Copies of this chain bind each other. A is one copy, B any other.
Amino acid sequence: MRKFLLSEGEIPKKWLNILPLLPEPLEPPLDPETMEPVKPEKLLAIFPEPLVEQEVSDKEWIDIPEEVLDIYSLWRPTPLHRAKNLEEFLGTPAKIFYKNESVSPPGSHKPNTAVAQAYYNKISGVKRLTTETGAGQWGSALSFATQFFDLQCRVYMVRVSYNQKPYRRILMETWKGEVIPSPSPYTNAGRKYYEENPEHPGSLGIAISEAIEEAASREDTKYSLGSVLNHVLLHQTVIGLEAKKQMEEAGYYPDVIIGAVGGGSNFAGLSFPFLADVLRGDKRKEDLKVLAVEPEACPTLTKGEYKYDFGDSVGLTPLIKMYTLGHDFVPSPIHAGGLRYHGDAPLVCKLYNLGYIDAVAYKQTEVFEAAVTFARTEGIVPAPESAHAIKAAIDEALKCKETGEEKVILFNLSGHGYFDLSAYDKYLHGELTD
Contacts and interface: CB of A to CB of B under 8 A. Distances in A.
A-B pairs with the 4 shortest C-beta distances?
A: A105-B379, A170-B421, A170-B425, A2-B73
Interface string A200-241: 000000000000000000000000000000000000000000
A167 interface: yes
Given A5-B5, A7-B5, A73-B2, A170 B422 contact: yes
Contact of A175 (B144, B166, B170, B375): B375
A372 interface: yes
Interface of A: 1-3, 5, 7-8, 73-75, 85, 103, 105, 107, 144, 147-148, 166-167, 170-171, 173-176, 372, 375-376, 378-381, 418-419, 421-422, 424-425, 428
Contacts of A418: 107, 167, 171, 418-419
Contact of A380 (B105, B167, B425): B105
Contacts of A85: 74, 148
A428 B74 contact: no
Which of A8, A73, A105, A148 has its CB near the most chain B CB atoms (within 10 A)?
Answer: A105
Contacts of A380: 105
A343 B408 CA distance: 52
Contact of A8 (B2, B166, B171): B2
Contact of A2 (B5, B74, B419, B424): B74
Given A5-B7, A85-B148, A171-B381, 20 more contacts: A1-B8, A2-B8, A2-B74, A74-B85, A74-B378, A74-B379, A75-B379, A105-B380, A166-B422, A167-B418, A167-B422, A170-B424, A170-B425, A171-B421, A173-B425, A173-B428, A174-B372, A174-B376, A174-B428, A418-B419
A374 to B, nearest CB: 10
A432 B380 CA distance: 32
Contacts of A73: 2-3
24 contacts: A1-B8, A2-B8, A3-B8, A5-B7, A74-B378, A85-B148, A103-B103, A107-B418, A147-B376, A167-B418, A167-B421, A167-B422, A170-B422, A170-B424, A170-B425, A171-B418, A171-B421, A173-B425, A173-B428, A174-B372, A174-B375, A174-B376, A174-B381, A174-B424
Contact of A105 (B8, B107, B372, B381): B381
Contacts of A176: 376
A101 to B, nearest CB: 13
Nearest to A379: B105
A176 B375 CA distance: 10
Contacts of A376: 147, 174-176
A428 B428 CA distance: 34
Nearest to A381: B174
A3 to B, nearest CB: 6
Contacts of A166: 421-422, 425
Contacts of A8: 1-3
Given A171-B421, A174-B428, A428-B173, A144 B2 contact: no
Contacts of A75: 379
Contacts of A105: 379-381
B379 A144 contact: yes
Contacts of A167: 418, 421-422
Nearest to A81: B74
Nearest to A72: B2
Contacts of A372: 174
Nearest to A418: B418
A88 to B, nearest CB: 11
Contacts of A103: 103
Contacts of A422: 166-167, 170
A129 B148 CA distance: 45
A74 B171 CA distance: 27
Nearest to A111: B379
A379 B140 CA distance: 11
A76 to B, nearest CB: 9
A421 B107 CA distance: 14
